[in-house]
Chains A and B, each alone.
Chain A
């Protein structure tokens, strides 16, 4: 039985067939194959499917809607140009998110060099919805700039693990698999990243509770 399975696998590998099922008509893999076959309009359907998620990911890093839009556009362009390098069409989503995260990190680093972050008054990190919503909205933009700067100052390995957790909402096991590190390492990186951010926010006078 085992020998028969090995033989089938060998024949499939020799004939170029693999064990993956054919992509369903609505799957990412199906659209990727269509693009590879010359139908560029199929990529637009992938853009439509993921634009919101990619903008959200970029915004999580950059805290600026216009910048997030620009980074998302660039990420899709890069994915479009490099689609032939994607080994597994079914992995399009995680591949696209990786491109978007890398572009966001690059932009974050570039921006951190020249964007000035103004002094913040002591504000509440998490006032409740009832507490001064207008004040919170006004502060959120300034807070966003500070957050972006603090994120840019985190070591890459901590930031990557943390953002995969917070923005992509992956489990530790999924992050570990994607980064090729043990789950315990993911846990400690996420934790250290949060500790650093908490301490840096406290230095800026941003603390939990009301102002």
Chain B
């Protein structure tokens, strides 16, 4: 069997059909123009029809073009990169930094941090009010919200409840933030 390599083929080096599917030669003998669209398939170890494989094995013009395209392919390939244990550390830092910039997560985080303080303030106020009217050294009356310890105690209960709810909401909000 002869391998055809005509000047027409050489002027259309590597030419491919106009469409997006290579025409698979059905005859036993194929030309360079018919075989060259399969050069990359050859480089990539894809299965070729027997006539195309036979042509590419014996044609010097196609072999030259095959070499050029193989060089391009090898130029593009990248060796395996060594693992970098620092990458995941940098990723965590970047993620934390980004999360800090997310307004929803920012408020959620700060709500959680401020909740104990808010609860403490409410509790302290409640304790003071529940002690009933008293006078300090300058004669100021502390039980300003009520006329006695009874009203003070009721307000104290409410404030304790508010503090507890603030704490609960903050915790729930923080947990909710981890859900997708």
Which A residues are within 8 Å of any B CB, using their own CB?
36, 38, 40, 44, 47-48, 51-53, 55-56, 59-60, 69, 72-73, 76-77, 80, 83-84, 125-126, 147, 162-163, 165-167, 171-172, 182, 184-185, 187-192, 194-195, 197-198, 201, 208
A-B Cβ contacts below 8 A, count = 125
Which B residues are within 8 Å of any A CB, using their own CB?
14, 16-17, 19-22, 37-41, 43-44, 46, 67-69, 71-85, 87-88, 90-92, 94-95, 98, 175, 178-180
Contact A198 B69 (CB under 8 A): yes
Contact A166 B91 (CB under 8 A): no
Contact A165 B44 (CB under 8 A): yes
Q: Which residues of chain B are within 8 angstroms of A187 by Cβ–Cβ distance?
A: 22, 37-38, 40-41, 46
Contact A51 B41 (CB under 8 A): no
Which of A40, A171, A191 touches B37 (beta carbons < 8 Å)? Answer: A191
Q: Which residues of chain B are within 8 angstroms of A192 by Cβ–Cβ distance?
A: 16
Contact A194 B40 (CB under 8 A): yes
Contact B90 A73 (CB under 8 A): yes
Contact A76 B91 (CB under 8 A): yes
Q: A185 to B98: give the CA distance in the assembly, Å.
A: 41
How many whole Å from A48's CB to the nearest CB in chain B? 5
Contact A125 B71 (CB under 8 A): yes
Q: Which residues of chain B are within 8 angstroms of A167 by Cβ–Cβ distance?
A: 76-78
Contact A84 B178 (CB under 8 A): no
Residue of B nearest to A201 (CB): B72
Which of B39, B71, B82, B94 touches A126 (beta carbons < 8 Å)? Answer: B71
Q: A194 to B37: give the CA distance in the assembly, Å.
A: 11
Q: Which residues of chain B are within 8 angstroms of A208 by Cβ–Cβ distance?
A: 67-68, 71
Contact A56 B78 (CB under 8 A): yes
Q: A51-B88, A73-B91, A192-B16 are in contact. Are A182 and B178 (CB under 8 A)?
A: no
Q: Which residues of chain A are within 8 angstroms of B74 by Cβ–Cβ distance?
A: 126
Q: A59 to B84: give the CA distance in the assembly, Å.
A: 14
Q: Which residues of chain A are within 8 angstroms of B38 by Cβ–Cβ distance?
A: 187
A-B contacts besides A126-B71, A184-B20, 20 pairs, CB < 8 Å: A44-B91, A51-B87, A51-B88, A51-B91, A52-B84, A126-B74, A126-B75, A147-B75, A166-B73, A166-B76, A167-B76, A182-B21, A185-B21, A188-B20, A190-B40, A194-B69, A197-B72, A197-B76, A198-B14, A208-B67
17 contacts between A and B (CB under 8 A): A38-B175, A38-B178, A44-B92, A47-B88, A48-B87, A52-B81, A55-B84, A60-B77, A73-B90, A73-B94, A126-B75, A188-B22, A191-B22, A191-B69, A195-B69, A198-B71, A198-B72
